[in-house]
Amino acid sequence: MRAEKLTLIAAVIATAMAGAPAIAADPCDGFSWNVTHERAIFATPPIAIAAAAAAGAVPTVEVDKLYDISLTPQDKVTFVVTPAKKALADGAYAGLVKLHIPSAGKYRVSMSDGFWIDVIADGKFAPTEDFTGSHECRAPRKIVQYPLPAGNDLVLQFSNASSPDVKVTVTAAPQ
């Protein structure tokens, strides 16, 4: 690189510096992926369900539907596997749902807040592939992508939520 040949242009464009009025920000433009599909689903009426507090009668969620999931105080929840990420759980909420996917592939779990999620397949954590988020957005706030196997139902294990009600959708990731 020859830095002396680089034209040093003004690197900071402070649009409000000249007194221009601030434009209303889109709080959901901070994702590093195309999340048009997820945002469209978050604009649909949610299906209300109650997450389970232990393995057993765990409700099932399906792809491409928005769920309004009520959670339980975390100290009352028995997890299938201890959440992978240790954290203080004061006042936190948690719960379990099952996920049925039609075929193996990459899927995104989109959440209305920055709580922790583990996807459990055959008793083990499914590895995450990537994640993205947008600070001020709640529709959604955070998206985690997983390569998931088909076959048996998967368990989505939510923990460390700050609210007893969260919205979640699962979508197939673009190929």
Partner 1 sequence: MRSSWTIAALCTLLCTAPGAAVLAPVAVLIGSKPYIDHRDQPPYLALPKPLEDQYQLGHAVFNTPFVALGTPNAGRRAGLGPIFNAPSCDECHNEGAHGRGPDYEGAMPNSMVVQLEALPAGVSTDPTDPPGDPVYGRLLSPAAVEGFTAEGQVIIHYHVLQRTYPDGTAWTLRRPEYEITHLGYGPLAANVVIKPRLAPAIFGLGLLESVPGHAAQPGPGRFGWQAIARSVRDQTTRALAREMGVTSTDRPEDDCTSAEMRCLQQRHPQTPEMSGELLEALLTFEKWLSVPANPKALPPAQQAAGLQLFRATGCSGCHLPQQPVLLLQPDGQPLKATIAPFTDLGIHDLGPGLADHEVSGAVHPTRFRTAPLWGIGYRLSRESKPTFLHDGRARSVEEAVLWHDGEAAVVRERFAHLPPEKRAQLLRFVGAL
Residues in 63-92 that interact with partner 1 by CB under 8 A? 84-88, 90-92
Q: How far is the CB of 20 from partner 1 (least distance, A)?
A: 9
In angstroms, rounded to a whole number, what is the distance separating the alpha carbons of residues 106 and 129? 9
C-alpha pair distances (Å), 71 with each of 64, 106, 153, 170:
21, 26, 20, 18
Nearer to partner 1, 118 or 156 (CB): 118
| Among positions 72, 110, 160, 171, the unique one binding partner 1 when judged by CB under 8 A | 160
- The answer to whether residue 43 forms part of the interface with partner 1 (CB under 8 A) is no
Find, among 124, 142, 140, the residue nearest to 132 by Cα.
Answer: 142
Nearer to partner 1, 28 or 41 (CB): 28
Helix, coil or strand: residue 41: helix
In angstroms, rounded to a whole number, what is the distance separating the alpha carbons of residues 77 and 24? 40
Task: Kindly state the tokens that stand for 1.
Answer: 């690189």
The amino acid occupying position 100 is H
| Among positions 8, 57, 123, 175, the unique one binding partner 1 when judged by CB under 8 A | 8
Helix, coil or strand: residue 99: strand
Count the residues of the shown chain that bind partner 1, applying the rule CB under 8 A.
Answer: 42
Helix, coil or strand: residue 50: strand
Part of the chain binding partner 1 (CB under 8 A), chosen from 25-33, 41-49, 52-60, 64-72: 25-33
Nearer to partner 1, 16 or 57 (CB): 16
Residue 37: φ, ψ to 5° = -65, -45
Residues in 119-148 that interact with partner 1 by CB under 8 A? 129-130, 133-136
Residue tagged 């459990």 (tokens): 120
Q: How far is the CB of 34 from partner 1 (least distance, A)?
A: 10
Binding site for partner 1 (CB under 8 A): 1-3, 6, 8-19, 22-25, 29-32, 84-88, 90-92, 114-115, 129-130, 133-136, 160, 162
